[in-house]
Structure 1
């Protein structure tokens, strides 16, 4: 009656107590006397297993003699809660519930292992007086440590990543939350109250419709569906915050009501840093484009000066003037090749890149125009639509092709029936292959690309600079220059 155990007149020994059937129950049971030592009378097998003391006879020992408390882990508190529960049971005759409470146990090596218990103390009565105490215990160590770990995670998340937890009842508008959420929305402690309405009012006017739509969606979705909110919060101070919410519907274990539970994350610092970086990248790109434009214009001015000087040499006439004019033409073509590169530079993925197909098409067109050749006299073909190169490699490759095209015009006598051809393709292994061909109209067995050797040296230097190889040969009355360059190198 009332949680008490009444003994009849007949049972008056430990054997009689055992006959009550506690050996067969699945929970740990321990009988002890309410004396100063809390002398142990008997325990069942489940208690031996739970306390890690199977086969150890503790009968007649005091409780704290059989199970000494851990002095390094508030052992005095453990002794206190057991004695307090015993005294209260004796005083009132009413069973006492204690826990979760810590009482560590020794392992086989003699070291203490942390344990937490849920304990129940009930009086054992005979002839109207309490003659013993029945203690039943349940090991709740795992649940206690798991809850503690979850609390640690929450505290760490809140302090290090501006993460705050919440629970929202969409039917009552009750909004239970971490204090950090109030600060995110610019509220002083206790200013906003217990409901969510003041927080909805501070969501940006352009974002609030999406917030309500997401709440409605997750309310109608199965449990486990993730709700996702990203919105702005204009504060009375004029500052704007960026908030992210992730949550899901779950049943509250206390009132059994469905609640939206999850986290708030303050992304303001991250968003501001992203915007600042975006502005800095835009400014840098603008500066690069402007610098490239100025370089291209400067090269065009240099080309104009070279052409002016060439015109003066034509007027002067004579063998020396013709030789100087040829030298100026060579310089002009090289400057023009560099100018073509700068005309096609683009900023892509934070790198100055060149579309090689566009660049070569410009180079072929300007070379053809400079040499006053018809379109059919110099033909460009390619298998790939877009090939990206960094600007430094593109400049060197452009100058190589300029030398080869200049040489092809000089020695190949291009025309509609014997054109100079330039072909580009790409292997599956991303190896770039470029072939320049022209008719072989010279009896000179040398394969030098110009008679002075300057162009030859330039081509070799540029090839080494960009990791390319060049091979030249004469086949079937044609002079062929082949360039191979791994693009992943």
Structure 2
């Protein structure tokens, strides 16, 4: 008896796969998809089979420059040229709706080549994981990051050396002299605009990053030669990230420091008469404060980039507290840089704005201030700022349901010393310390720097903390 073996129906097996799979020919024409893929993308086989992937899934006209057809095609062609799988970073790729319009979606596609008997790539299997929910959840943190970048004139970027995929904020295009959306999905045109004398060093750092472990910090400064011939100076900071497959990806920020370089040149070329030396001293002090502010802002941006990868709420909160502490110091140098007096901080203006920074979240408790017209040197203003940040942040966190105001005052006493006071009528946590061990140590350390005496009371009447300290160091 002869048994006839039935041919294997691979198309039926593909359709029944529980994971979303799309099958492309080497010309990127769609030839098949699993039922899971069709459900995920809200399409049918008749909608997509026989069509080029970028035609079957066109760009959302309302999200030009955001929906990332460019990097998707670069990834697919990289697989064809190397014969190796490629895992993409998160991309936005919106899905056309049957009734018109687009649904916003975010994905992490994995592209895997399939070679024929002769070793030539015949097909690519796309396995797109829908990560829209997790991306939407992280939007608030991303929004805070974008606001922080904008406030500090920072531009964000992400680079993948293996494919040359180059994703960046619009500010990067502006820095390199490209019109929005004209730079393309790869980094080559941007490397072409780097100054030839700096390009070797930049390439060396990129090459060293390829062999570096996850979270390696990257620092590189270079010049950009604009089409007009003008030179732009930038400082870039970033870190190495590795995908689940071990591929290297780098993320970071850019800062335009052209104005800093111009001021340096101006200072070095200045004629040093006695009057000009005094003016130069003021300019130099302002420049120092500006540089310190910029450097600390890069630290804040790096912390925020790292915080985005955390899932543990306690770890995220710890990063947010660290960022707030650094920003309290940044605010002092920023005030000095933006005022004519580079030696004294107007504490009424400074503390009022610091309170606004701390209470800008929706539903946050308000802070009322009563601050005398007091000017303090940088070495006195910074400890005061850190103390205010710690005490206010702790009160805000511990009594989120309280709608009463927190009171902040800085007064000059009859003795000539100064008294900083933070109080409210909330007795929540009565009998418990209002600060973490680290926060309490910071406050005590800052009070000691001021040669001051710190007192804290929490009873049924509410909370009161104060520091009495001399105006000048004794």
The normalised TM-score by structure 2 is: 0.40
Which is higher, the Rg of structure 1 or of structure 2? 1
